[in-house]
A and B are shown apart, each in its own frame.
Chain A
Amino acid sequence: MNFRSPWLIAGAVFIVLLIALAIVAPSSAVVAALAVLIPTTLRFTTPLLFAALGGLFSERSGIVNIALEGIMLFGALAAAVVAQQVEAPFLKVNPNAALPWVPWVGVLAAMLVGGFVAWIHALASIKYRADQVISGTAINLLATGVPAVILQYFYNNTSDSASVINVLPLWGIGSVQFSPLVYAAFLIVPIVSYVLYRTPFGLRLRSVGEAPQAAASVGVNVMRMRYTAVIISGVLAGLAGAYLSIGNLDKFNRGMSANQGFIALAALIFGKWLPWNTMFACLLFGFFKALAIRLGGDDILPSAVVDVLPFILTILVLAGFIGRSRAPKAIGRPYP
């Protein structure tokens, strides 16, 4: 048994934190706290998981996708603005109209925009052989400017959009209610795992990330695989953004991605570029964020301290575990 596995470490940290919580708070409070913590964890995990799985596709094909952060923001912007603009004429006619399809149009827009922005990154780093980190940074910089320009055009301010009335619904039984995207995020983990390890597409994808020359020699179109992978990663990161703006909230604001794209990358590295491990890593980050907010709410720690805990965790995780995780061999290198 591999004791270095992030699964076990994640589980151990989880248990230690629970015990710590049990010591700090009386036992009945622990149950109440967990009832809040677990759903919150799932909610915080969702965008991370979408983005990290997106990063998984891109990085397994050999393209570093540091642009996840920016693509998430673009997705969030697209979802909120499109949903708001689509529903507005209907609401003008009838302010109380129920338009359950509106948020799904927003989600679709987020996926399309995410895919498009990722295509720009792909074009730069595959066809024009740009340094992938710099090209990704350019996308992230774009994501700080473009939303302001678009918000100015539609809403005459540069910080946030108007509220979307028809946001994503909540699905569930009883008091367990989640956005459909939460279920989707966890459901695509087995799908990703299956696609990656049980289909010819997945084999080719992994092969172009490990040994593009060898893959090309057996007839795999390396360029096309990489384009596909990066665009898929953009679509998934766009979904993460859609969840942030019209799943978790009802509007877009400029700081809403809050470095989650980078945390997702860290989770991907922590999860050793494997789907299930990445999910557990995302869960760990999500749990930690939920716990941090819970601690802040109880005057246990100041919120300024609590807010930075996930970032400190990211650094620790990268420092402590990256040595043993092996990146795809051809990552970051242009082909041919």
Chain B
Amino acid sequence: MTTANTRAKPNDRYGLVVAGFAILTALASFLVPLGTLSRSFGGEGALLIHPGRILDFTGRLPTTLPDFSSVTLVAWVLILALLTMAGLAFTRSKWTLVAGVLVIVLTIIDLALFVRAIDLIQAPLLAAGTAYRRLPFRNLGPNLWLFLSIFAGIAAIVYSLAQNEARARAFAAARGGLVPVIAMLLSIVVGGVVILILQGVPGNDLHPDALSSLIGKIDLLWFSYSSLLGPALPKFRPSLDLSGIWQSLSLATPLIFSGLGLAFGFRTGLFNIGAPGQIVFGALFATAVGVYVPGPWIVIGPLAVVAAAVGGGFWGAIPGWLKARFGSSEVINTIMLNSIAAGVLVFLIGANDYKFFGQTIHFPFKAEGGEAKSALLGEGARLQNMVELFGLRTGQNQITLMLPLALIGLALGWVFSRGDFRRRGLTAGAAGIIGVVLGLILPKITLNISGSMTNSGLNVSFLVSLLAAVFVGVFLWRTAYGFDMRAVGLAPKAAEYGGVNIGRNTIMAMAISGALCGLGATHYVLGGALTEYRLKQSMPADIAGFGGITVALLGQNTPVGVIVSSILFGVLGTGGLNLDQALDKVSREIVTVLQALIVLFIATRGFLPSSFFKPAPPPKELEPDKPKLEKPVDKVNA
């Protein structure tokens, strides 16, 4: 239908929300800290609040404080800009876009001024030979207010862009993608309330008055979430250090596998809660090949990876078969199979001698020692650590930027090109080559490989997980089999009528889903992420397996979504350790709670009204009939 002559009316509510958020941000400047000057180990912060006020919970600030007058000045301008932007958004002015960009630019300038003010104190000390560790204000950082103002700016820009009719329709079409975002925001809010209930403000005794306590609480929230997300960021001083992101990617790898498995299940109408069991069976099969089949790595390496998939696929096919043959729910069966798999694991590597009806039988699978573990894998079956793969050594390394630039080029080329598969592929390849050339031209940089980076356990299985994501994408959306399976997931009756064998498809889908989950074992066993190249009972199959549920739902059951949300949870897992250490009353299991809340909020579709998901009604003059009552969609993201 053509609606070119009817100008799309932007919903007034959104303008109000954007304006209200901007005004709140402007007002909040007097309560929400702008920057953190310093942070003690227990989470106590020395905070800068807008009109140049410093609130010190650490009690350890040096006497010479930085001069923040320029920061305050720009902050005043920023507040003015926010208020102007609110007015513009409220009147739906075209200039909202400009104001939004201005707010973001001003925020970045303010942050830069903040860092510079502290740098002015640090630089002379550093020049005088003070060790980096002994510098004052070493743990400086931005605080919540700057981020609020950036969000306000982004909101205004998005709102302003959505004034254009075509873009408004594009945004409206993508509004389903809002659910995971809202679910995450809601769970952050609930998690924040939980943190505030559990944990008092660190260092509150120094400033027990009500206002300081309130500011302290706001900072506690900021500190909690920034320490959940922060450790994954690269550190640039004293030299580039990527151990946080490596640790995060290492935690993300098994999540990617199980998330892909779960997403595959959801797409085919199956809820596979059996990922933990499938990981265990993948691990058992992979270990069997790795330990007991000798051979060169070129044969045994791929064979062991395939064995992991076969193991997981076998364990996944059982509930698939039970469902197809007897109609029993895969949900309860997979849960039972998880427990059985855990029992099998304990049986095989927990002890060597078992008594059956009084007779002792010897099993050779457990290795010597107190811990329940298998024998070491043969050299051929081991997947290399990524640090070794890149030929890096612990300590300072000179590296070129060739690889990251090539990858960025590939990604950009793919995303920003139009046309068919081949054309986009060629563009991406060309952009990748430009990246390589750039990497050769640009000077080398110093990368610090710390012990924690080598020990993070990130290995080649991460690359395998990316391949698996490509497989899922291609299989489900580019092959006839995948089409059949998705058809069964969307409408089993219709698919059956269309000639699809539902039973066979169910078994196949569960087997593939299980195989994807089972591949997660490559990370733990073949990749040596359990600190040694062997299977151990301590393998966290439950965490990886159940995490896959959240990851799949958060990623909207798409391969890219699964990868992104897995990395997010890898980051949170890495940060959880830091939070655990800093705050005595908050456990890192708060991350598990956040995961569960995200699942709950996605299941309830972010508490958005169902009218939100209905397609926009056609323009009045084109309206054909009375709109019929729609049958609600009751599958999440299916």
Q: Is A11 an interface residue (CB 8 A)?
A: no
Q: Could you say which of A123, A128, A158, A318 contacts B332, with CB atoms under 8 Å apart?
A: A318
Interface of A is mostly: helix
Q: Is A138 an interface residue (CB 8 A)?
A: yes
**Given contacts A307-B343, A322-B327, A131 and B635 within 8 Å (CB-CB):** yes
**Given contacts A144-B546, A152-B589, A318 and B636 within 8 Å (CB-CB):** no
A171-223: which residues lie under 8 A (CB-CB) from chain B? none
A299 touches B358 (CB 8 A): yes
Rounded to whole Å, the gap between the CB of B252 and the closest CB of chain A is 18
- Which A-chain residue is minimally distant from B322 (CB atoms)? A319
The contact string, 1 if C-beta is below 8 Å from chain B, for chain A 120-144, is 1001100011110111011101101
Segment of B106-114, B242-250, B518-526, B597-605 in the binding face: B597-605
Q: Could you say which of A156, A262, A308, A318 contacts B340, with CB atoms under 8 Å apart?
A: A308
Rounded to whole Å, the gap between the CB of B505 and the closest CB of chain A is 19
A300 touches B322 (CB 8 A): no
Complex-state Cα separation, A258 to B336, whole angstroms? 10
A141 touches B596 (CB 8 A): yes
Interface of B is mostly: helix
11 A-B residue pairings within 8 Å (CB atoms):
A130-B600, A146-B596, A151-B587, A266-B332, A301-B357, A304-B347, A311-B337, A312-B336, A315-B337, A323-B326, A323-B327
Q: Could you say which of A130, A145, A149 contacts B603, with CB atoms under 8 Å apart?
A: A130
**Given contacts A129-B610, A149-B194, A266-B332, A302 and B356 within 8 Å (CB-CB):** yes
Q: Is A333 an interface residue (CB 8 A)?
A: yes
Q: Could you say which of A145, A301, A308, A334 contacts B593, with CB atoms under 8 Å apart?
A: A145
A284-313: which residues lie under 8 A (CB-CB) from chain B? 299-302, 304-305, 307-308, 311-312
B326 touches A137 (CB 8 A): no
Determine the chain A residues whose CB is within 8 A of the CB of B322 once the complex forms: 315, 318-319
Contact-residue size bin, chain A (C-beta under 8 Å from the other chain): 35 or more
Determine the chain A residues whose CB is within 8 A of the CB of B240 once the complex forms: none
**Given contacts A128-B607, A300-B357, A318 and B593 within 8 Å (CB-CB):** no
B605 touches A128 (CB 8 A): yes
Q: Could you say which of B343, B358, B593, B607 contacts A146, with CB atoms under 8 Å apart?
A: B593
Q: Is A277 an interface residue (CB 8 A)?
A: no
Q: Could you say which of A128, A131, A145 contacts B595, with CB atoms under 8 Å apart?
A: A145
B328 touches A318 (CB 8 A): yes
The contact string, 1 if C-beta is below 8 Å from chain A, for chain B 588-626, is 011111111101101111010010000000000000000
B599 touches A138 (CB 8 A): yes
Q: Is A108 an interface residue (CB 8 A)?
A: no
**Given contacts A138-B600, A145-B590, A152-B586, A322 and B328 within 8 Å (CB-CB):** yes
A131 touches B589 (CB 8 A): no
Rounded to whole Å, the gap between the CB of A65 and the closest CB of chain B is 12
**Given contacts A130-B636, A138-B599, A319-B326, A302 and B354 within 8 Å (CB-CB):** yes
Q: Is A72 an interface residue (CB 8 A)?
A: no
B593 touches A149 (CB 8 A): yes
Determine the chain A residues whose CB is within 8 A of the CB of B333 once the complex forms: 315, 318
Determine the chain B residues whose CB is within 8 A of the CB of A141 once the complex forms: 546, 549-550, 592, 595-596, 599
